Amino acid sequence: MKWVLELARDNGCRLVLAGDTREHHSVKRGDALRSLEQSGAVSQAILDKNYRQRNPKLRAAIDDIANGKGCQGFDQLDGLGVVREFKDPAERRERLVQAH
């Protein structure tokens, strides 16, 4: 990260670090964004509204999960039929491939 910051500074570049440190966790050595946030070295832009999910019920479930109500959010997702369990690993892989 130090190298990237120096490269940006030396070349007059603007550096944008994007991510959600609450969503994806890096190993400690690679967790530069979290370190920069905690030290106050970077300014943050925060989205306070969920724009990704268009379905109001799905949005409510995801918002609950994002707000620390994981069990409640998961139960809502399960009630919407979006949670699927496949015990056979081959079937699970095939379903994932088909979905994506």
Instruction: Share the mean pLDDT of the chain.
Output: 86
Rounded distance between C-alpha atoms, residue 37 and residue 23, angstroms? 14
Task: Please compute the mean of the pLDDT values over residues 38-67 and round it to a whole number.
Answer: 87
Give every CB contact of residue 42 below 8 A, 6+ residues apart in sequence.
17, 33, 36
Which structural domain range is residue 82 located in?
Answer: 56-99
Residue 8 in any domain: the answer is yes
For 16, half-sphere exposure in the C-beta direction (CA atoms, 13 angstrom radius) is 3
Residue 44 in any domain: the answer is no
Q: Which residue has the higher pLDDT, 42 or 50?
A: 50
pLDDT greater than 70 at residue 88? yes
Nearest by Cα to 44 from 68, 19, 67: 19
Question: What are the pLDDT digits (tens) for 10-37?
Answer: 999 998 877 776 666 666 666 777 788 8
Rounded distance between C-alpha atoms, residue 100 and residue 96, angstroms? 6
Residue 51 in any domain: the answer is no
pLDDT greater than 90 at residue 61? yes
Same domain? 30 vs 64: no
Residue 46 in any domain: the answer is no
